[in-house]
Amino acid sequence: MTALLFGILTVALVGPIPQALAYASWPVYAPRAAMTLWQAVALAAVLSAFSTGLAIAANLLSPGVNGAPTTNPLDEIDRLGWPLWSVYVIVFALTLLVGAKLIYSIVRVSIRTRARRNAHRVMIDLVDRVDMHRQHGRDIRVLDVTAPLAYCLPGLRGGRVVLSEGVLSRLSDDELSAVVEHERAHLRARHDLVLEAFIALHEAFPRFVRSRSALGAVELLAEALADDQAAHATAPTTVGRALVACADATAPRGTMAVGGPTTLARVRRLCDTRPVPAISATAYLLAIAILVVPTLAVAIPWLTELHRLMSHL
């Protein structure tokens, strides 16, 4: 039953729950609480997946007549029967595959993204209009291109806020301050690391169980959090005007642009001043429940049983 409960919980946390959360309208009005809830769902999904495999392993090493655990999983065929034993082995192998793929995805996404960013950082430092970025800040890089560009380039050795002259020509001083503050908010909060974790998690689980909308929903929340920081530093109307002006701004892969397809939704939320304390409190409580309740209800009995088995070794 422990393995079954963990398996059901894993599927729910990877598919239906993220899908429902992605289509909900409230997260953009409480982005910090919603981001916490998303991270709790992701962490609980990983823990539940590994717990499923561990619970199955414990079932395949159940105690024999002398109280000691059996050391050969094949000995459990007679007790469990071929159908159930086969299901256990398949699910256990799938759990190992998901774990290996998650580790591989984390390493691959990290190496690939950092290599792309390092190469791009070298390029923009070479073509930067030094006279312009001294005027706007040491972390600013200005490119002499007419195409609209406004994005941040994270990095451990100092992030960059990249702007093009095409964007500078569109924005007033207040709007430019809002765009710069938006990108600096991404850099300070390291939203890139959050998104990398969700990308790795998205790639690790099989397509038939994972939610297709989860990654896009988390990206929108990251932009909403940066918008709020920019609005606090300037004004919501200023941020809204800047978003509209930079709606068609583009950015290379591995960076975070101020514009994009979510611009309209973000402008609408800036115009909506509805109070959200109750929504935020509920989201935080759900995040705690998603992590704590399954542990208390399922993990503790299983850990007790595992301790009993190990005591006979």
Phi-psi domain of 158 (left: phi exceeds 0; alpha: psi -120 through 50; beta: other) = left
Higher pLDDT, 147 or 61: 147
User: What is the reported pTM?
Assistant: 0.80
Amino acid letter at 310?
A: M
Q: What is the pLDDT of residue 237?
A: 92
CA distance 56 to 139: 52
Cα 50 to chain center, whole Å?
Answer: 19
Q: What is the pLDDT of residue 134?
A: 52
Q: What is the pLDDT of residue 239?
A: 92
Rg of the Cα trace of the chain?
Answer: 24
Phi first, then psi, for residue 190 (nearest 5°) are: 50, 50
> How do residues 112-140 score in pLDDT, each as one tens digit?
888 888 888 888 888 787 666 555 667 88
Q: What is the pLDDT of residue 146?
A: 86
| pLDDT for residue 109 is more than 60 | yes
For the chain, the structural domain boundaries read 2-310
β-sheet with 256-257: strand ranges across? 140-143, 160-164, 150-153, 256-257
| pLDDT for residue 306 is more than 70 | no
Return the bridge partners of 142, or none.
Answer: 163
Percent of the chain with pLDDT over 70: 80
Higher pLDDT, 165 or 302: 165
| pLDDT for residue 55 is more than 70 | yes
Return the bridge partners of 250, or none.
Answer: 149
Q: What is the pLDDT of residue 63?
A: 56
Which of 268, 278, 155, 265 is closest to 217 using CA atoms? Answer: 265
Higher pLDDT, 120 or 64: 120
SS3 292: helix
Q: What is the pLDDT of residue 72?
A: 65
- Average pLDDT value for residue range 174-192: 91
Q: What is the pLDDT of residue 117?
A: 85
What are the helix (H) ranges across the chain? 2-14, 16-23, 31-60, 77-80, 82-127, 130-136, 165-168, 173-189, 191-204, 214-233, 236-245, 263-271, 277-294, 300-310
Structural contact between residues 179 and 150, judged by C-beta atoms closer than 8 angstroms = yes
> How do residues 266-282 score in pLDDT, each as one tens digit?
888 888 767 778 888 99
CA distance 72 to 217: 45
Structural contact between residues 140 and 180, judged by C-beta atoms closer than 8 angstroms = yes
> How do residues 206-245 score in pLDDT, each as one tens digit?
776 666 677 888 889 999 999 999 999 999 999 999 998 8
Average pLDDT over the chain reads 80
